[in-house]
């Protein structure tokens, strides 16, 4: 009989050996592969259970309509393009506009409209808003959670009246009272920006939002495969092996080697293991005990086509009303053109205890938009998808617990980063790229962007989509 050590020795001799193995072929995994090549690694394996690269950049097409699981907008100054310049020619240029459905049933400016949410509310409401802000600034200390943070800046009254509190609950997957303050401070600085006196004055005097220097881009109509295939070929030519559609049964550590054992096909091994997959999954694959699993959002995407009067002009609409689980919708036909005269769009719904299926999400969405007089006409569901582990839920103490678990993986020898690997809500591919570079200690040799531009860009990111 073999003992387990002998079995593991045998396993090493049967396997393909790499300089590094990367779990996950999303933006973080692809950037990691590019960085490792630049750091003189020659043989790298990227393993993903999806059959495609690009991770949760997932499109879905039918009958000439083309949708995505989320509203995915990119920029031509993204650091991702320093790794994969070949992507640039495949994007299409778009001019997205953002709006929000407020609790009063009006489509107005995102994320807050001074005119509609404050000035047009009437003198009594304006006084209540003002008293609430003054009260918050004087009394609202200490700040304990995301709700306190938002209330401190705009007052509890406007927080509710504007629908921001309901939107936060939708976005976070639970009431903002239960959301860790750290996330609010990291990801919601736009509230502070929008509610400073200087910003309010600027809003009241300016007609147009600040001009963006960079170009906004979307994937080609043909889908993400057409965008990412050139990057995959480029990496493969330089020594990266892709093991896509591969389900991992476990990861074994044998002295200084990690052995990845797939349910089918050859095992692979390396001294270096990088993980960009959810922390819960890495623990399970490695057989490590996890006291507290980290919670993540399950996202339901509804894909509709439509003929009729849509009732708003913006290409992206956020739901700030008091009702319904849908969070945001994106009109893809604004970017790619109508199909057979029909507009088409995707709706993101954060799954919860009552809305946990495509059917229930559709029924609730239809009833809600009918009540608010948007999409007056023929609304047809073309399909839908459910995405688990869309992004982290930051309940109290979750970021600190995630840090402990990442440290534990590090002690075990695994470098874990990325949206899921770091349990870090990375809003854009740009942020994922920068975080992957930072985790691997990489700096581009080319002259850096003008730091002032970069600051400006990062600020804008916090002011635009969540």
What are the structure tokens assigned to 242, written together? 């892709």
The SS3 assignment for 385 reads: strand
- The residue whose two tokens read 């002690």 is 411
Nearest to 390 by CA among 431, 357, 421, 419: 419
Whether residue 96 contacts residue 313, with contact meaning beta carbons closer than 8 Å, is answered with no
Name the 3-class secondary structure at 167. Answer: helix
Region 420-439 residues binding ligand FAD, contact defined as CB under 6 A: 420, 426, 428-430, 432
**Residue 305 CB contacts under 8 Å (≥ 6 apart), including other chains:** 65, 339, 342, 343, 344, 380, 382
Q: Report d(CA 60, CA 317) in Å as an integer.
A: 20
Scanning 19-27, 185-193, 200-208, 450-458 for contacts with ligand FAD by CB under 6 A, the matching segment is 19-27
Give dist(CA 29, CA 196) in Å, integer: 38
Give the residue, chosen from 56, 66, 315, 351, that forms a contact with ligand FAD under the rule CB under 6 A: 56
**Closest approach of ligand FAD to the CB of residue 26, in Å:** 2
Q: How far is the CB of 122 from ligand FAD (least distance, A)?
A: 36
Contact flag: residue 268 with ligand FAD (CB under 6 A) = no
Q: Which of 8, 12, 15, 49 binds ligand FAD (CB under 6 A)?
A: 49
The residues in 74-93 that bind ligand FAD, with binding defined as CB under 6 A, are: 74
23 vs 164, beta carbon nearer ligand FAD: 23
Q: How far is the CB of 3 from ligand FAD (least distance, A)?
A: 28
Q: Which is nearer to ligand FAD, 136 or 168 (CB)?
A: 168
Among 103, 173, 223, 418, binds ligand FAD (CB under 6 A): 418
Residue 155 makes contact with ligand FAD by CB under 6 A: no
In angstroms, the CA 318 to CA 303 distance is 16
Question: With CB under 6 A, what is the number of residues at the site for ligand FAD?
Answer: 34
By the rule CB under 6 A, 349 interacts with ligand FAD: no
d(CA 194, CA 203): 9
CB-wise, 103 or 421, nearer to ligand FAD? 421
CB 328 within 8 A of CB 316: yes
For the CB of residue 47, give the shortest distance to ligand FAD in the complex, in Å: 6
**223 is a site residue for ligand FAD (CB under 6 A):** no
Binding mask 280-319 for ligand FAD (x = CB under 6 A): -x-----------------x--------------------
Q: At what angle do helices 224-237 and 27-38 cross, to 10 degrees?
A: 20
Is 416 a residue that touches ligand FAD (CB under 6 A)? no
276 binding ligand FAD? (CB under 6 A): yes
List own/partner pairs for 281-287 with CB under 8 A and 24 or more apart: 281/420, 282/23, 282/251, 282/409, 282/414, 282/416, 282/421, 283/405, 283/409, 285/248, 285/250, 285/251, 286/250, 286/251, 286/253, 286/409, 286/412, 286/414, 287/250
Q: Is 277 in the site for ligand FAD (CB under 6 A)?
A: yes
Cα gap 54→68, rounded to integer Å: 12
Minimal distance in Å, beta carbon 75 to ligand FAD? 8
Residues found near ligand FAD in the complex (CB under 6 A): 23-29, 47-50, 55-57, 69-74, 248, 276-277, 281, 299, 390, 418-420, 426, 428-430, 432
């Amino acid at each position: 009989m073999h003992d387990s050590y002998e079995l593991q020795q045998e396993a090493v001799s049967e396997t393909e050996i790499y300089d590094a193995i990367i779990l996950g072929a999303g933006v973080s995994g692809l950037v990691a592969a590019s960085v490792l090549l630049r750091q003189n690694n020659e043989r790298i394996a990227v393993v993903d259970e999806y059959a495609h690269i690009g991770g949760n950049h997932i499109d879905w097409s039918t009958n000439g309509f083309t949708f995505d699981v989320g509203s995915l907008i990119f920029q031509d100054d993204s650091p991702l393009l320093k790794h994969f310049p070949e992507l640039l020619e495949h994007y299409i240029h778009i001019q997205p506009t953002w709006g929000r459905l407020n609790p009063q049933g009006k489509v107005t400016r995102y994320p807050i409209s001074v005119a509609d949410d404050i000035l047009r509310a009437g003198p009594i409401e304006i006084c209540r808003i003002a008293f609430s802000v003054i009260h918050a600034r004087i009394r609202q200390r200490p700040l304990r959670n995301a709700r306190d943070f938002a209330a401190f800046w705009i007052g509890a009254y406007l927080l509710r009246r504007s629908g921001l509190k309901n939107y936060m609950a939708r976005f976070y997957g639970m009431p903002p009272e239960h959301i860790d303050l750290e996330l609010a401070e990291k990801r919601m600085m736009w509230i502070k920006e929008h509610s400073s006196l200087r910003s309010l004055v600027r809003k009241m005097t300016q007609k147009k939002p600040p001009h963006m220097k960079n170009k906004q881009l979307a994937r080609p109509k043909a889908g993400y495969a057409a965008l990412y295939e050139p990057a995959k070929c480029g990496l493969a030519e330089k020594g990266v092996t892709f093991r896509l559609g591969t389900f991992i049964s476990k990861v074994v550590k044998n002295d200084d080697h990690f052995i990845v054992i797939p349910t089918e096909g050859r095992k692979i091994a390396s001294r270096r293991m990088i993980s960009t997959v959810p922390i819960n999954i890495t623990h399970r694959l490695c057989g490590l005990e996890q006291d507290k699993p980290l919670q993540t959002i399950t996202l339901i995407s509804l894909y509709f086509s439509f003929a009729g009067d849509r009732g708003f002009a913006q290409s992206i609409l956020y739901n700030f009303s008091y009702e319904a689980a849908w969070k945001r919708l994106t009109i893809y036909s604004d970017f790619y053109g109508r199909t057979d005269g029909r507009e088409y769009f995707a709706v993101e719904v954060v799954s919860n205890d009552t809305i946990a299926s495509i059917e229930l999400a559709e029924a609730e969405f239809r009833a809600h938009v009918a009540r608010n007089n948007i999409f007056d006409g023929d609304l047809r569901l073309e399909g839908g998808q459910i995405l688990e582990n869309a992004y982290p839920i930051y309940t109290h103490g979750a970021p600190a617990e995630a840090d402990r678990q990442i440290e534990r993986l590090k002690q075990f020898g695994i470098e874990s980063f990325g949206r899921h690997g770091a349990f870090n809500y990375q809003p854009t591919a740009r942020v994922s790229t920068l975080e992957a570079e930072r985790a691997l200690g990489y700096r581009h040799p080319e002259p850096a962007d003008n730091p002032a531009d970069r600051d400006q860009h990062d600020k804008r990111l916090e002011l635009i989509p969540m």
